[in-house]
Every structure is written in C-alpha cells, then in structure tokens.
Amino acid sequence: MNPSILPVEAIRERDIDLLLLEELNTDTDFCRWFINELSLPALSHSIGAWRSISDFGLGETDIVFSYQSGDCKIMVLLENKLDTSFQDLQYDRYCQRAETYIKKGGCHQAYSILIAPEVYCENQNDFESWITYENIGEQLALKGTKRGLFKRDLLKIGIEKLRRGYTPVNSEPVQKFWMEYWVYKEKHYPNLTMKKPGIVPHNSDWPMLFDERLPGMIFYHKLGQGNTDLTFRNFPDETRDTLEEHLPPEAALVNHNRSFSVRIFSGKINRTADFYSQLEVVNQGLKHLTLLQEWVLVHQELVYSKK
C-alpha cells in the first residue's frame, strides 16, 4: 500500500471525541499540558473523562473531563466543533450546565471550553476559552511515537476538511445591526476605531474596537453576554497582577488562555433584533468601553513597563 495515501478519507467530530477521550483517560502528561494550555487550576490528578453527557435537561456536553486540583474538584465541559455551526444558545447552555454542576455539589469549579480547528476558533464569538486541533496535534507529535504522529495526522485531516469547506456566509439581519452599530459609534464615539462591517456571519457577536496608541489591546463589545472587555494579548502575568490593584469601579479581571480582560457588565444585546430598540443598552456598552480606554491610557506606564 502506498504510504502517501491518507489512512482515512474523512474525519468526523465523533472521531475527534474518541481521540481526545483516550488521551484524557490514559495520559496524565497530556492532561497536565491540556490544563496548563487553558490556564485552568493546576492538575493534581485526573478523575476521568466521559463522552456525550446529557444532564439537567440542558442539552448534551461532547466531553466532560474531571480532575482534582488540591482539595478542589474541577469539571471541564468540552464542546468539539469541526465544521458545523453552533446551535442557538449552545454556549449559554454550556454555561448553565457548568453552573448547575457547581450548585448541585458535583464540583467546586466548572469551565466551558471549545475544541476546534484554529480558523473555527478565531471566527466564532461564543466561547472565550478554546484549544485548537493544531495545538493538540503538535503536543501529540512531540512524543515522537508512531501513535502520537498518527493521531496528529488524523487531526490534520480534520483541519483540512474545514479549510476546504469554510466560506463565511453573510447574515442580513446581523449585518444590518453591525452596520447601524458602526454608524452610531463613528458619530458618538470616534476615539475608538472599528472596521466598517462587510460580510457578517450569523454567529458574529463581538464587535472589535481599537486604539492605535494601545498596541496589544483589543476592546470587545460582547453583545449577547452583555460584557464590555478590554483584552490584553501576550502581556506577562506581572502586568495582569499590577493592573488588578488599579481596576476602575465595577470592573473585574477575567483570565483567558493566552490573554486576560478587564471587564464591565453593560447589559445583553440581541444582534438579530432591531438596533434602535436597544440603543440605550448599546450606548451604555460604548460608554463603558470609553471608560476602559481612558482608564488604561492613564495607566500606560504600568502596562508597558513590564512587557
């Protein structure tokens, strides 16, 4: 048999589920890397991983991974996406399940995480924490074993499947909302820069705004979540720790994998509904983004002195 022939013609999400399930149930080093990559509490020991878990009447979790961090039991709810769109309110249901696990005493902390190809992760606006097929493949290949290299190649087949089929599809109601948002921002909040919307897919829910004086920072208006975030990318932990001591009123510091945000809740917004009927909440969000902009400009010395 020609070794250049692909071992399988196509990879499905279920195949990736089983690949991950094996690693999370059998390889402590992989589990520890996985947790560190997501900046979750350190792993003391693994408890187990399970597939297709339906709890609390809130839909299905692709994989649940449970581990111990000191005296704290952690549950990680993993949504695996290869080339299908999110269902309506899918992320919200993951968050609700995570909260319910904590309330019912199933764990002390719970996290909702997306696993998908890089292009999928970067073009979705639901999950704030994710780990890519590419990163997982690289980690498996580092072992240098035939098994690790084979699994890396399976993930590559999945990634290529998405790349061949990925074409952003414009959503007219969401594009209309984004355009009206952009026009309003340009008129009333010109000090924050936002790219004029072009094609806007249905899932696009996080307008991104910038200030050219603040490299490495992105302002997000997370409409459905109701959060206004100033996100710091590739800054050291010392910057985060220093800024935490100087947060503006109502703000909280939130950690993501490879970044952190200073966040103020501003009210939830429906991107598929009429813009002007939600103008008061939109304006509140833009005010909070401006507040974060002014705050970080005052503290620039603290931010860039440690980078």
Q: Structural domain tally of the chain? A: 2
Mean pLDDT to the nearest integer, 181-203: 93
214 in a domain, yes or no?
A: yes
Please give the pLDDT value at position 7. Answer: 60
Residues 250 and 111 in one domain: no
CATH classification at residue 80: 3.40.1350
Q: Is 1 among the domain residues?
A: no
Does residue 197 share a domain with residue 82?
Answer: no
Same domain, 182 and 44: no
Cα 222 to Cα 228: distance, rounded to the nearest angstrom? 6
Claim to verify: residue 264 and residue 138 sit in the same structural domain: no
Confidence band of 2 (pLDDT split at 50, 70, 90): very low
Reference 113, options 34, 50, 52; nearest CA is: 34
Domain co-membership, 157 together with 222: no
Identify whether residues 62 and 94 lie together within a single domain: yes
| pLDDT tens figures, 268-278 | 999 999 999 99
Find the mean pLDDT for residues 247-256: 91
Q: Is residue 46 part of a domain?
A: yes
Write out the residue range of the structural domain in which residue 233 sits: 172-304
Q: What is the mean pLDDT of residues 37-55?
A: 92
What contacts 142, CB < 8 A, 6 or more positions away? 148
Verify that 85 and 198 share a domain, yes or no. no
Among 134, 165, 196, where does a domain finish? Answer: 165
Q: What is the pLDDT of residue 168?
A: 66
Dihedrals phi, psi of 192, to nearest 5 degrees: -105, 130
> Tell me, what CATH number does 185's domain have?
3.90.1150
d(CA 25, CA 291): 46
Q: What is the pLDDT of residue 255?
A: 86
Q: Note whether residue 6 is domain-resident.
A: no
Give the residue-averaged pLDDT of 151-169.
Answer: 78
* 3 within a domain of the structure (yes/no): no
In terms of domains, do 212 and 197 share one?
yes
pLDDT at position 270, please?
95
**Domain end residue (candidates: 113, 148, 165):** 165
Say whether both 53 and 126 belong to one domain.
yes
Q: Is residue 231 part of a domain?
A: yes
184 and 96 within one domain: no
Q: Is 31 within a domain?
A: yes
Give the model's pLDDT for residue 162.
67
| Confidence bin at 1 (pLDDT 50/70/90) | very low
74 phi/psi in degrees, rounded to 5:
-115, 140
Residue 201 confidence class, pLDDT cut points 50, 70, 90: confident
Choosing from 165, 192, 214, the residue where a domain stops is 165
Between residues 178 and 11, the one the model is more confident about: 178
Query: Quick check: is 161 in a domain?
Result: yes
- Assess whether 18 and 128 both reside in one domain: yes
Statement to judge: residues 176 and 161 lie in one domain: no
- pTM exceeds cut of 0.85: no
The answer to whether 45 and 62 are in contact (CB under 8 A) is no
